[in-house]
Structure 1
Amino acid sequence: MPGLLVTLLVSSSTALAQTVSRDTSFTTHSAYLKAQKQHPEISVARPAVPKGVRSSSALTYCNLPGGRALQLDVFYRPTKRQRPAVLIIHGGGWSSGSREQHWPLAQQLAGHGFVAITAEYRLSGEAPYPAAVQDLKTALRWLRAHARSYAIDTNRVAVWGFSAGGQLAALLGTTSHDSLYAAGPCYRSHSSQVQAVVDADGILAFLHPESGEGDDHKGPSAATRWFGASKTVRPELWEQASPLRHVDAHTPPILFLNSAVDRMHAGRDDLRRQLDSLGIYSEAHTFPNTPHSFVLFNPWFEPVLNYTVAFLNRVFETR
């Protein structure tokens, strides 16, 4: 598997080092080459950084046992006025991708008055489900622990995710009270609750008639690698990780941003019906004739940003 080497420090009487090959098969460039074949007009979205936006990069949000340091980046405009925060979660089939792919989005959100955070999480090649969910819950606790440093309003925290990151964002939003995902050694006294979710082409139900996940006839699928078992061997895990199975009165409002690839948002309409029955606000916007990776490219980046900002302003009543 192609990749660069990530060094993990292992605790012992003598510090030992081992290497894990990081999957770099999904990058903005690889997604562009694939999408450009059908959409020659597209370009990678790299808008100018809004005036006054600053960043704090490669901050460690948790040191895991064994010396693994999980990192994030914060984009903000200095101010004393409290602002909502948005945790941005990259995609890549739970096995690839990187937080840097969404720096342009984070910069633009910061320009619109949000504190935007891009966080890494352990991928399937390093640790199987539910490690990624637990890592991101820890990132949410970190941002609340450091709210004063960035003038974050801890009662207005959103998660935004693309693809696998969208599934993770929806799962974070629907499992606020589930102790399974609260594991992790860092900032345990702080909350990991979220008050809004933006799911950009993330699956809502793995075992669903609309889902294409779990096709292993050419080798283990992305989801099979993440769960460490096929859907026929461990179906309970696939159900457990489906946001659709966790919707209740505590679920926050959700914005769905979707490509023309229907299987990438399997379970969305069923989940929206549940939200409607509970009186919870949701929106869904589908971009016609778009590839799965549409959020990374012009001409779709700007409307994705605009829908996100309008939704968060509505939910958070931002002035």
Structure 2
Amino acid sequence: MRTAMTVGSLALAAVMLSGLSAPAQASDVSARTGPDPSVTATATPNPGFNDNLSGVYIRTVRYGRHLRQRMDVWYRRDGVARPAVFIIHGGWWNSGDKHSMNSIVRGYAELGYTVFNINYRWSQDAPWPAQRVDALDAIFTARRHAQLFGFDPNRYAIVGFSAGGHIAASVGTYRDGLPGLRAVVGVSPVISPMTAFVDGDLGAAPEQQRLRKAAVALAGGCLPTQARCSKMWASMEVPWHASRGDAPMLTVHSQDEFVPPYHSELLKEQLARAGVAMNIRVVPGFQHSSALYREPGVAEGIQEWLATRLGRIPSAGGGQQ
């Protein structure tokens, strides 16, 4: 149940955003007009693992020129087109690395998916929407080379954690849907940076204050109270971009974590108006992001939900799992 403070925070956020208009998103397209990214890195079976995952190769792919515009691809060379899962790590938009997701990525590879584990530019490298641009470019690069990586470009999902959940949901609501995107999952996703800004005022928990500062940094140091910053903050607000072509979404929050479930409730309301299904799962406790993912039943529930939307996974011999 929402407290009076929660309702007040949401109301204040709504008032602060009421004068803004959702900006056009054409600026994201320009980042995809450069030279074709490199896919020439050497593919080595399971580097860094002692217990080999049979038949799976890992290749690091450059999808842009920046050091962090890289992704690791976990794939099989059996000529079978598999559904894919894109993983986006968290880290306050200003830290974190794809390698922290390796155990989670491995779980999806074991299930038979092709998995893309993405790094992206931090907020100190470039402000929003650079992070969404990077995720889009990674996806477009993967789809261009779908045959090389053995995946079906018309069957993929995105799973994002915390700040990575914000990026995943932003990609999921980009324009009127992306070709081939079947599902989006957010684990402790920061759906509304504006709500995080309001909730992180003086007197809030340290994590909420830190998230407020991180949201401001994502906006390039621009405060939502400044008129010149209105378009930036509107662009960062995922609920404002919901449309009928968006993929269905699942989000998971802990009841008492610092990114509370009402972040997702804001998006669910807007997606419902567009006729798009969204499920919100709330787990007791205060675990956040990957720690929440490891709570009993959470990973299994997400995997089951994805399986119903991505369909059967071909086996190495061409059959169905």
What TM-score do the two structures reach when normalised by structure 2?
0.71
Q: Residues of 1 paired with 2:190 and 2:69: CA distance?
A: 25
Deviation (angstroms), 1:310: 0.8
Distance 1:131 1:214 in 2: 26
Distance 1:262 1:198 in 2: 18
Alignment partners' CA distance in 2, 1:94 and 1:257: 19
Cross-structure match for 1:11: none
The answer to whether the Cα contact below 8 Å between 2:292 and 2:298 also exists between their aligned partners in 1 is no
Measured in 2, the distance between the counterparts of 1:205 and 1:154 equals 29
The reply on whether 1:245 has 2:240 as its aligned counterpart is yes
Measured after TM superposition, the shift of residue 71 of structure 1 is 1.2
Aligned residue for 1:267, secondary structure, equals helix
Q: What is the CA deviation profile of residues 133-188 of structure 1, one whole-angstrom value per residue up to 9, with x for unaligned ones?
A: 1111100011101110122111112111000000000000001459xxxxxxxxxx
Report the counterpart of residue 276 of structure 2 in structure 1. Answer: 280
What is the alpha-carbon distance in structure 1 between the residues aligned to residue 230 and residue 57 of structure 2? Answer: 42
Cα distance change, pair 269–99 in 1 and its aligned pair in 2 (3 A):
same
- Superposed displacement of residue 216, structure 1: 11
Offset at 1:297?
6.8
Q: Paired residue for 1:195, among 182, 196, 200?
A: 182
Q: Does the 8 Å CA contact 1:60/1:70 hold for their aligned counterparts? A: yes
Q: 1:211 Cα shift?
A: 5.5
Higher normalized strand content (fraction of residues) = 1
Q: Mean Cα displacement is larger for which, 193-202 or 248-257?
A: 193-202
2:63 maps to 61
Matches within 5 A, 1:44-83: 51-52=53-54, 54-63=56-65, 68=67, 70-83=69-82
Contact persistence 1:205–1:239 (CA under 8 A): no
> Which stretch of structure 1 is more off in the superposition, 223-232 or 284-293?
284-293
| 2:219 aligned partner | 227
In structure 2, distance between residues paired with 1:304 and 1:213? 27
Inter-partner Cα distance in structure 1 for 2:217 and 2:174: 22
Q: Which is worse superposed, 162-171 or 113-122?
A: 113-122
CA shift at 1:222, angstroms? 0.4
Inter-CA distance 298–93: structure 2 relative to 1 (3 Å threshold) = closer
In the TM superposition, what is the alpha-carbon distance from 1:59 to its structure 2 partner? 2.1
Counterpart secondary structure, 2:194:
coil
1:158 aligns with 2:160: no
Does the Cα contact within 8 Å between 1:91 and 1:163 map onto a contact in 2?
yes
2:73–2:116 CA contact under 8 A, matched in 1: yes
Aligned residue number for residue 312 of structure 1: 306
Identity percentage over the alignment? 26
1:317, CA displacement in angstroms? 2.5
Q: Which secondary structure does the structure 1 equivalent of 2:159 belong to?
A: strand
Distance (whole Å) between structure 2 residues aligned to residue 215 and residue 141 of structure 1: 41
Q: Deviations over 1:183-241 (max 9, x none)?
A: xxxxxxxx776221001111222334996357799897001111111221223322211
The CA distance in 2 between the partners of 1:265 and 1:138, in whole Å, is 29
Change (3 A) 1:108 1:77: farther
> Where does the alignment leave 5 or more consecutive residues of structure 1 unmatched?
1-46, 179-190
Tell me, yes or no, if the aligned pair for 1:167 and 1:202 is still in contact at 8 Å: yes
Under a length normalisation based on structure 1, what TM-score does the superposition of the two structures give? Answer: 0.71
**1:255 matches 2:250:** yes
CA contact (8 A) 2:164 2:189 kept: yes
Alignment of 1:1-20 (within 5 A): none
* Residues 106-145 of structure 1 aligned to structure 2 (within 5 Å): 106-145=105-144
Aligned residues: 256
Q: Distance in 1 between matches of 2:191 and 2:304?
A: 23
> AA paired with 1:315?
R
Question: Between Structure 1 and Structure 2, which shows a larger proportion of helix residues?
Answer: 2
Residues 131, 312 of structure 1: alpha-carbon distance in 2 compared, 3 angstrom cutoff: same
- The structure-2 alpha-carbon separation of the partners of 1:256 and 1:50, relative to structure 1 and needing over 3 Å to count, comes to farther
CA distance in 1, matches of 2:293, 2:267: 29
1:299 and 1:174, CA in 2 relative to 1: closer, same or farther beyond 3 A? closer
CA contact (8 A) 2:261 2:282 kept: no
